[in-house]
Structure 1
Amino acid sequence: MKWSEFKIHTTNEAIEPVSNILHEAGASGVVIEDRNDLDKDWSTMYGTIYELDPENYPEEGVYIKAYLPVNSFLGETVEEIKQAINNLETFDIDIGHNKVTISEINEEEWATAWKKYYKPVKISDKITITPTWEDYQPVSSDEIIIELDPGMAFGTGTHPTTVLSLQALERYIQTGDSVMDVGSGSGVLSIGAILLGAADVQAFDLDEVAVKSTTINVKLNKVQDRVTTRQNDLLKDIDVQADVIVSNILAEIIVKTTQEAYQLIKPGGYFITSGIINAKKELVKQDLEKQGFNIVETNQMEDWISIIAQKPE
């Protein structure tokens, strides 16, 4: 079978929504080539992910690559993708150059093209994320290993927004907590919450592909008895409470959930938000405070912000 590599030159801000569009169009995986990765001093972080070739990266912004089967519907699919990406501007999302390049590759190249970018990486004091095909051995007795199959996932767990979320979960999860993961994507935050001591997680995502991806990865990590996956529009019609709600989605979507989150979080509980660009930080903070939350932490990694808010006792 022939496959088409669909490459978009866009911005960091657009990574999550563009990836979502590609998955909804039938992409079986995405590769993100971020120019900022070339400038990181990996020795000051938790570990090297892989060797980087500058030739693969744009001068600015990011390349997002997806792989679609070559068939009679490909032309129509490509046009739908382009239109959906263009529509992101109506949500005040910067799509940058928005240059699209399409090339044909064979099945063997498609099957391995994105795997070479994904190696085990330690993303916090305790947590290491590894792909299922890597034989990774823990280096300490308290190390938490999350295995992911990113073939259908929304990212590989190493994007700054996900790292910030996992690091916050590591600080605030208490043994026996009940957790909600709003916009679960690959399920990495749901898995992390359980492995950090949560008693149960309810994982919600509107996208059917994301729900399937969460379900697969939850089973891979043998926590399916404590994680419930469900297709749902954010927190609508949810009537149970949680100790912690974590939401790694766009700032514009977060502010649509704050009122419901305040009602659903138990007194003293935490709302962990991520996926926020620096320009939208005050928007989210003001909305959280308006609902009655107290801001307890604001953290930044590259251009991304995570805000942790607490419901008063």
Structure 2
Amino acid sequence: MSADWTEFAFKVRNSQLDTVASIAEMCVSGGIYIEDYSDFDALVSDFAPDELVSEELLAQAGDRDNSVVHIYISPEDNPGEALLFMQERLRAAGVDYELKQNTVREEDWANNWKQYFKPLPVGNSIVIVPAWDNTVPPEYEGRIRIVMDPGMAFGSGQHETTRLCLEMIEKHLRSGDNVLDVGTGSGILAIGALLLGANRAVGIDIDPLAVKISRENAAVSGLADRFTSQCCDLAGDINGRFEMICANLVADIVIRLIPDTGRLLAAGGRLILSGIITERRPDVEATLSRYGYYVADSRELGGWCVLTAARNN
């Protein structure tokens, strides 16, 4: 592999491997590699006579209780963004991990990734611009500018799931709506909703740093008086009613969130759910149906989907 590529290796418990692998597949286009030796002893026993299996061979096979998920990222794919995405989603999923990387120290990404953040048009009326250079090409003039400095929180707008969510917000938001953004990260979805005409927005995140960064980004856009953020797990500590609830997480966490939305979603409101790989779409749709929702709109992009759901009458 070229030295221009970056490898991150996440060591996790076998019981959490499927969750970590799903999150990793969200992050990268360069592929993932999984070391999983949990079934090695049984496989060797099935396919090789005992007398041919040495203790040295068994010892070399690796840890039986833990697995390692390797992700490989080119600089063009923004390795810093991928790492931040992985770390936030792993924290939200409650995954403990050990991280190794082979080229650049983790703290270097805080600034190095900025070179990959360029103005990005989204939907019909939005352009996402970096806070350190908010000039836009002439063809994007007249669009609503979401000014972002994600820092160490996920949400620069470069990932497909963020763009899908913003497009659905643009399409379904009604002027004066109140919005709840679950897993707010940089605050990009809540800020986008406010700029598109929402009355107020609440962002929640399990990461205190994301709560801080989202507040700072809202202030940069002059929205500090209409945006609040707090640190909590999913929506358990939130009260009130919202015409729109957004959650760009992963399928398993979205499924955990859905039962709690019933007390929070106002009549006629919409759920906008993403971070869902297309293979997990049926699982999320089944959970929505179980709790009285139907899918009113959807879109897929690059192996990801966004679902807009509403209550059955």
Q: TM-score normalised to the size of structure 2?
A: 0.70
Residues 92-131 of structure 1 aligned to structure 2 (within 5 Å): 100-103=100-103, 113-131=112-130
1:145 aligns with 2:145: yes
Is the alpha carbon distance of 1:56 and 1:288 closer, same or farther for their aligned partners in structure 2, counting shifts above 3 Å?
closer
Superposed displacement of residue 110, structure 1: 6.1
Identity of aligned residues (%): 32
User: Equivalents in 2 of 1:230, 1:178: separation in Å?
Assistant: 16
Superposed displacement of residue 111, structure 1: 6.9
Provide the residue aligned with 1:220 in structure 2: 220
Secondary structure, counterpart of 2:103 in structure 1: strand
Check the 8 A contact 1:266/1:311 in 2, yes or no.
no
Residues 141-290 of structure 1 aligned to structure 2 (within 5 Å): 142-290=142-290
- Runs of 4+ with >6 A deviation: 9-12
- Once the two structures are superposed, what CA deviation does each residue of 1:190-215 show, in whole Å capped at 9, x if it has no partner? 10000010000011111111111111
User: Equivalents in 2 of 1:290, 1:235: separation in Å?
Assistant: 19
Is the alpha carbon distance of 1:268 and 1:56 closer, same or farther for their aligned partners in structure 2, counting shifts above 3 Å?
closer
Bigger Rg, which one? 2
1:57 aligns with 2:74: yes
Check the 8 A contact 1:6/1:65 in 2, yes or no.
no
Superposed displacement of residue 234, structure 1: 0.9
Secondary structure, counterpart of 2:236 in structure 1: coil
Provide the residue aligned with 1:14 in structure 2: 23
Provide the residue aligned with 1:72 in structure 2: none
Unaligned runs of 5+ in 1: 18-31, 37-54, 69-80
- Once the two structures are superposed, what CA deviation does each residue of 1:140-195 show, in whole Å capped at 9, x if it has no partner? 67511011112222141120110010000001110000110011011000100000
Superposed CA RMSD in Å reads 3.7
User: Equivalents in 2 of 1:110, 1:181: separation in Å?
Assistant: 26
Unaligned runs of 5+ in 2: 11-19, 32-71
Check the 8 A contact 1:184/1:190 in 2, yes or no.
yes
Is the alpha carbon distance of 1:155 and 1:14 closer, same or farther for their aligned partners in structure 2, counting shifts above 3 Å?
same
User: Equivalents in 2 of 1:287, 1:189: separation in Å?
Assistant: 23
Superposed displacement of residue 280, structure 1: 0.9
- Once the two structures are superposed, what CA deviation does each residue of 1:37-70 show, in whole Å capped at 9, x if it has no partner? xxxxxxxxxxxxxxxxxx9729xxx78448x9xx
Provide the residue aligned with 1:75 in structure 2: none
Secondary structure, counterpart of 1:197 in structure 2: coil
Is the alpha carbon distance of 1:166 and 1:245 closer, same or farther for their aligned partners in structure 2, counting shifts above 3 Å?
same
Check the 8 A contact 2:178/2:200 in 1, yes or no.
yes
Check the 8 A contact 2:155/2:188 in 1, yes or no.
no
- Once the two structures are superposed, what CA deviation does each residue of 1:263-306 show, in whole Å capped at 9, x if it has no partner? 21112110000000111101100101110012111210101111
Secondary structure, counterpart of 1:306 in structure 2: strand
Provide the residue aligned with 1:134 in structure 2: 133
User: Equivalents in 1 of 2:80, 2:173: separation in Å?
Assistant: 35
Q: TM-score normalised to the size of structure 1?
A: 0.70
- Once the two structures are superposed, what CA deviation does each residue of 1:240-268 show, in whole Å capped at 9, x if it has no partner? 11100000001101111112112211121
Q: Which shifted more, 5-14 or 121-130?
A: 5-14
